[in-house]
Amino acid sequence: MSTEQLLTFARWSGYLTLFCAAVTVIGWLLKWGIRFRLVGATGFMGVLTGGLFALSLGFYSRPDVPGAVHYSRVFDTGSTQVVITVPPQITETQLDATLRQAASKLFSPGRLSQGDQFLTIRARTVLHPKPGVSQPLYLGQVKRSLLTREGDEIVVEIDRDSLAQLPNPEDREKS
């Protein structure tokens, strides 16, 4: 079900709620015997309308960025700092697309800014230089505004020195 459909349902439910409210007022003025039931039906319709409207706000489909690879969120403060992990076979263009994808998907107006108006998402991978040794390697970060969903306030920074430490594709084929 799309956001537009839910908004349409909420609108028509709102109209029906207003109709029920009008009938309830008429029932009270004419002292109908079912006036208390009409109050209940009107209240129920109000709750149903509010729920449909709230559902329409919650469904926001975020666009996919072409070239992005799968990432996992490994740290999230719920405010301004997020760390994602990417595979060590990632290229610079894939990293850029993945950081932009994460900036789109992890944005939420409910994040607390705590004095900082930017959400910072850092990308890392884990290298294994020797058996039994794991080395985290930060590859880049993206900063985006916490204040607006749309806009060109996305700044991607890629650490090319760290990216150069990743294994070459020829080395990966040998192992």
Q: Tens of pLDDT along the chain (175 residues)? A: 677 888 899 999 999 999 999 999 999 999 999 999 999 999 999 999 999 998 888 766 677 889 999 999 999 887 889 999 999 999 999 999 999 999 888 887 677 666 678 889 999 999 988 899 999 999 999 998 877 766 667 899 999 999 998 887 555 444 4
Return the DSSP state at 80: S
The two structure tokens encoding residue 129: 């230089």
The full set of domain ranges for the chain reads 3-58, 72-167
Chain segment 22-37, per-residue pLDDT in tens: 999 999 999 999 999 9
pTM above 0.75, yes or no: no
Distance CA 109, CA 13 (A): 27
Sign, Cα dihedral of 164, 65, 74, 143: positive
| Residue 118 contacts residue 80 (beta carbons within 8 Å) | yes
What strands, in cross-sheet order, belong to the sheet with 81-85?
A: 72-76, 81-85, 118-127, 135-145, 155-158
The pairing of beta strand 81-85 with beta strand 118-127: parallel
